[in-house]
Amino acid sequence: MKKTIIAISVLIVVGVLGFVAYSFLVSSKVPQAFIDKHNEVVALEKEAVQLSDLTSMPEMEALDEQMASEDYSGAFKSVDNALTRKKDASTKLNSIDKKLAELKSILGEITDSEIKTSAEKFIEIAKKENSAKISYNNLQIQMLEKLKTMVGILVKNSKTISAADEKMINDLGKEIDDLKNQITTVEKEVNNIQSQYKEAEKEFFGLAGLEIKK
C-alpha cells in the first residue's frame, strides 16, 4: 500500500515552463513606450518561471524522501508550499496577459507599417503561448491539489488505512494519471508555440533593428 503511495507521488510532471527573458536596446524605429512595456512582460516571465519550476522547488525535491520515510506531515507541508508557489505563478501569468494587451495598444505608435505588422504578429503568438502556459500551470495545480488530498488521508490515518480511504487514494491516483497525460499534451503545445514565437520574434527584431540580450 505505502509503496503504491510512494509511486504515485513521483507521477507529478515536472516539466519546466520554458520562459526566456529578453531585453531591448533602444531603436528609433520603435517607441520607448513599446520597449518599456515589453520589458515589464520580461520581468513577469522571470518571476513566473522562478515560482513555477517544479524541478527546482526544494519542497518537491524533498517529497519522495518524506514519503519513503513515512513523514506524511512533512510531505503534506511540502505539497502545500508547492501549491502556493504555483498559484503565485498563476497570478504572474495572468498579469502577463494584461501586459501583452497593453503592449498591443501601443502598436499604433510604431509608424513603420512593416515593423508594426511584424510586432502585431509576435504579440499574438506571445498571447497564444502564455495561454498555453496558463493551461499547463493550472493542470499542475490540479495535480498537486489531488496529491495534497491523498497525503492528507495518510496524515490522518498513518497507522491504519480503511478500505474507503484506500479506494479514495486509488481513485486519486487514476485522476493524477489522467492529468499527467493532459500535461504532456499541453507541454507539447507550449513547445510548438514557442518555436513559432522565436521565428516571429526574430523577424520583428531584425526589421526593427533591435538587439536581443539573453
Q: Is the pLDDT of residue 26 over 60?
A: no
129-151 tens-digit pLDDT: 999 999 999 999 999 999 999 99
- Does domain 2-10+30-208 sit in CATH 1.20.1260.10? no
Which residues, in sequence order, are CB contacts of 203 under 8 Å at separation 6+? 118, 121, 122
Q: What's the CA gap between 137 and 169, in Å, rounded?
A: 23
Greater confidence, 38 or 21? 38
Task: Give the chain's length.
Answer: 214
34-85 tens-digit pLDDT: 888 988 988 898 888 888 777 778 888 888 899 989 999 999 999 999 999 9
Q: What is the predicted pLDDT for the residue at 208?
A: 85
- pTM comes to 0.81
Cell readout for 103 is 503592449
| 3 state DSSP class of 27 | strand
Per the DSSP assignment, residues forming a β-bridge with 23 are 213
| 3 state DSSP class of 47 | helix
Q: What is the predicted pLDDT for the residue at 212?
A: 63
Element (H, E) at 33: helix 32-52
Q: Is the pLDDT of residue 23 over 50?
A: no
Q: What is the predicted pLDDT for the residue at 104?
A: 94
Q: What's the CA gap between 6 and 64, in Å, rounded?
A: 7
